[in-house]
Structures are given as C-alpha cells and as structure tokens.
Amino acid sequence: MANPLFPAKFWIRNLIKLYNTTNMLNRPRRWRLVLLRRHLTERAVAFETVHVNAGSKGSTDKGGSYCIRCGRCCEFASGLPDFPPNSRVPQRWRQMFSQGIGKGHTFCPFLWQDKASGCAICGIYNERPIACRRFEKEECFYLRELPDDHVPLRLLRFL
C-alpha cells in the first residue's frame, strides 16, 4: 500500500460497496477484520504481481478528450480475456482479468491510482483488452452520471 500507484481510493470504494451490499454489521468484529485483511492482501498481491512484472508506471493516457480518469469504467470484477492478437499479456494476467482477484473485489486488477491527482491509471494500458479499447464516450458519460455509493457514518463500525 505504500506504493504511490496502489489503488487505495478504489479499494475503499470497493469496501463501501461491500458494506452496502452485504450484512456486515451483523457479523462479529473479528470476522470483519479477517475479511478486511484477506481482501487487502488479495488486492496487494495482484497489484505487486502486475506492477513488478510490468516494469511500467501505467498509463495516464485519457483515451479520448471526454475521459476524466475517474476509473468508473474499470469498476468490474472480471471480463472477457479478449486481448489483441499481438498482446504480450501473460496467461496468469489473462486469467486474473477473466476470473477476477477473488470474492468481493469490484474493480479491474489492472486499475491503479495516481496518488498526486487521485486519478485512475491503467497498469496495462498498451496491452489492455479489446473491450476496454472499444469503450465509448456514451458509456463513459452514463457511468459518470451514476450516483456515488452512500457512505453511512456507521461505516466505521465495519472495522
């Protein structure tokens, strides 16, 4: 998590979604802490696997003048591993993309965060899947219009 590209903001949004879609408060505190640690460990291992082996800092390419790098287009747990034919993405990463990181993860394993700006970065932008390449302006605007998940004050009790 100390890495300036670790997607902390997106991980916290992921936790908020978990809180809003599950019955966490009815679980024992110890159970919630175990879940939190497991979830963070899975995300950190996926991040390090890609970051160390990609040898890149990700891309800040906006993909179009309409993109504000909010990361909403990357908030999905998995997708079709349909990469371009000449892609150098390792089989393990294709599997991570198609199967997700694990239960409860709600965003792409290759989504990183520029800590200075808070904006989204694609860790494999030059090698990204075809679906990501075809993401259009209308889809972007639709996702931007969705309301943010409500963050109740009781969220602190989650921990």
Element counts in the chain: helices (H) and strands (E): 6, 2
At 107 the pLDDT is 92
At 29 the pLDDT is 84
At 19 the pLDDT is 77
Q: Please state, in angstroms and rounded to a whole number, the distance separating the CA atoms of residues 81 and 61.
A: 21
Q: Model-level pTM greater than 0.85?
A: no
At 57 the pLDDT is 59
Burial-class residue 40 by CB neighbours within 10 Å (0-12, 13-18, 19+): middle
At 63 the pLDDT is 57
17-42 pLDDT, tens digit per residue, is 887 777 777 788 898 889 889 999 99
At 60 the pLDDT is 55
The H-assigned helical ranges of 22-89 are 29-54
121-142 pLDDT, tens digit per residue, is 999 888 889 988 888 889 889 9
Burial-class residue 107 by CB neighbours within 10 Å (0-12, 13-18, 19+): buried
Q: Please state, in angstroms and rounded to a whole number, the distance separating the CA atoms of residues 58 and 81.
A: 19
Q: What's the mean pLDDT in 43-68?
A: 76
Q: What percent of the chain has pLDDT over 70?
A: 86
Q: Please state, in angstroms and rounded to a whole number, the distance separating the CA atoms of residues 71 and 154.
A: 26
Low-confidence winner among 36-45, 70-79, 94-103, 146-155 (lowest mean pLDDT): 146-155
Q: pLDDT category, 67, cuts 50, 70, 90?
A: confident
- List beta partners, residue 121: 112
